[in-house]
Structure 1
Amino acid sequence: MHGNDGLLIKILIYGLLIGIGFVYLYPLIYMGVYSIKNLDDILNPLVNWIPTKFYLGNYTKANEVLNFFPVLMETLYVTVLPSLAQTALAAVVGYGLARFDFRGKNIIFVLVMATFIIPPQVTLIPRYIFFNELNLLGSLNAFMLPALTGQGINSAIFILIFYQFFRMMPKSLEEAAQIDGAGHLRIFFTIAIPMAVPAIIISFLFSFVWYWNETYLASIYFGNELTTLPLQLQKFVATYQKMFPAGMELSGNQINEGIKMAGTLLSILPLLVVYFITQRWFVEGVDRSGITGE
């Protein structure tokens, strides 16, 4: 009986994992298949998951519309730097809150958490006016200044991650370092930071993804001065119709689902590459830091 119960549990677990995996993979498979279909395959109801031939023309047009490589470099510019700044600031604030006792500490911690609870739309208008007065609009500084002051995208989460991580650090390590004559700054860089590598990895990757996917604030703060792949994807259809006007329909250049899917896949391809490169460190970071989700 126990053996049968164990088999049933395994079947349920594997069935659940397969179902969850299918839900996540289906959109990617759908995009991948349709992005390599030509117009004939898309219009043919008998062609579903296996195209009659491997067609890359959709990617050629999507690359031209997105202006992929120049925009990719610009996207990395407005994504990597704020992510690095936000991770560094969160580590400093999290360490200070976790390892030092001072008057008003609890109030500061509550205020930090409140920045996550309060919807960003509430503070958007006054922040926009403030940035406009400082001439920060239209430049990366509109992202960098909040990141360097603990007000970046979801900064409170990263501060909480470092706070919980540094609280678990044994005090005996600090005491031993202080006996050897090390100051707080040296302890932070030589003991705390090396131990917090999992938290750093998690914070940077999540921050990277959130800055990458941010289109609302980016469109407001950057205007026409800077752009990102997600922003280009938002106006993909309009840009395509300008580049390939309606009068060119007879040439077969009218937009179709295959071109749209190719553009979408190109816009998320860098994130997929980053994940596949860093997945080992990402999983280790989640495991060691005890983080189970967003």
Structure 2
Amino acid sequence: MIGVKGNDGFLIRTLIYGLLIGIGFVYIYPVIFMTSFSFKSLEDLLNPLINWIPSALYMENFKQAFQVLNFFPTLLETLYVTILPAIAQTAVAAFIGYGFARFTFRLKNFLFILVMITFIIPPQVTLIPRYLVYSELNLLGNIQAFLLPATFGQGINSAIFILIFYQFFRSIPKTLEEAALLDGAGHLRIFFTIAIPMAVPAIIISFLFSFVWYWNETYLAAIFFGDQLTTLPLELQKFAASYQRMFPAGMDESASRLNEGIRLAGTVLSILPLLVVYFIAQKWFVEGVDRSGITGE
């Protein structure tokens, strides 16, 4: 029942699987609820006898949400302000992490602490000075407000990615670099031909996390982009106002009532690209999480 010689018994397995099912339910329940209600018509929403399974798949919710979000143009803008900073942040974090992991220089520990402090300090604390600097440099209202900080190692949670690469590069045996140096390779060549190919898991996990964090960022995006650029999460925040503007009360009665089904349909559309990316990159994502946590020698 309990298990012997390293094998889990029935009670231990029941406890483990019960815990995993409980944790999984906490995460999956909102998604199931959101998906179910997004396919419900107004009649199904008002019918107390219909709970989880709608009487019919009501696609009008998605049709109206699609129009309100202006989905495809907004999706392209979202990818534009998300992918480029994520790529820049991942590349710079790899370069900085390698420098901290493989080189010894003055004030190294002090500089590394400063990098970690940038993660501890809330972005709201530095928002006003950053906004004033961006305004003077004419960076507001375009992607440079995200891209330039990412290029200089000050993107969203860049310190975390620097730490990931720092830990990963420390795990690479130094004998490989020493052999390459004896063969006449320089430090840059070693970085690009030895360190980077071995750091693919760390690159994948850093890019995916960076992609998701830039995608979900609404506070800084609303302030720095203004009305010049928009994203799906930003459009979702003003979904109710946009819906009332596109479907005023004077129109057909069935199209003028904003209900929970239409709201949740908009939410499903806004997270659908992230779900697609996750299902495509799931294998590499899990491998990256597993291998990027390896400590040094």
**Runs of 4+ in structure 1 displaced over 3 angstroms?**
1-5
Does residue 280 (structure 1) correspond to residue 292 (structure 2)? The answer is no
Q: How much does 1:252 deviate?
A: 4.2
- Alignment partner of 2:177: what SS? helix
Partner of residue 273, structure 2: 270
**AA aligned opposite 1:143:** F
Partner of 1:34: 37
CA contact (8 A) 2:250 2:256 kept: no
Using structure 1 for the length normalisation, give the TM-score. 0.97
CA distance in 1, matches of 2:37, 2:67: 18
Work out which of the residue numbers 130, 135, 138 in structure 1 matches 2:138: 135
Aligned partner (choices 74, 86, 89) of residue 86 of structure 1? 89
Residue 248 of structure 1: how far off its partner (Å)? 2.7
Distance (Å, rounded) in 2 between the aligned partners of 1:177 and 1:84: 28
The equivalent of 2:250 in structure 1 is 247
Alpha-carbon offset, residue 137 of structure 1 = 0.3
Deviations 1:225-261 (A, max 9, x none): 0000000000000100111112236344311110001
For the 8 Å contact 2:82–2:214, the answer to whether it is kept is: yes
Q: Does 1:166 align with 2:169?
A: yes
User: TM-score if structure 2 supplies the norm length?
Assistant: 0.96
Shift of 1:39: 1.1
Aligned to 1:66: 69
Q: Quick check: 1:248–1:254 contact (8 Å CA) kept in 2?
A: no
Alpha-carbon distance in 2 for matches of 1:87, 1:71 = 24
Instruction: Give the AA of the match of 1:9.
Output: I
Distance 1:146 1:205 in 2: 18
Query: What secondary structure, in the 3-state scheme, does the structure 1 residue paired with 2:25 have?
Result: helix
**Identity across the alignment (%):** 74
CA distance in 2: counterparts of 1:33 and 1:15, whole angstroms: 25
Per the TM alignment, residue 196 of structure 1 is displaced from its structure 2 partner at its CA by 0.5
CA RMSD after TM alignment = 1.2
Unaligned runs of at least 5 residues, structure 2: none
Higher helix content, 1 or 2: 1
Q: How many residues align?
A: 291
Corresponding residue of 2:230: 227
Q: Is the 8 A contact 2:168 2:202 kept in 1?
A: yes
Aligned partner of 1:290 in structure 2 is 293
Alpha-carbon spacing, 1:3–1:184, altered in 2? closer, same or farther (3 Å): closer
> Take 1:90 and 1:266, find their aligned partners in 2: how far apart are those partners?
31
Alignment-mate amino acid for residue 123 of structure 1: T
Aligned-partner residue type, residue 132 of structure 1: S
Where 2:291 maps in the other structure, the secondary structure is helix
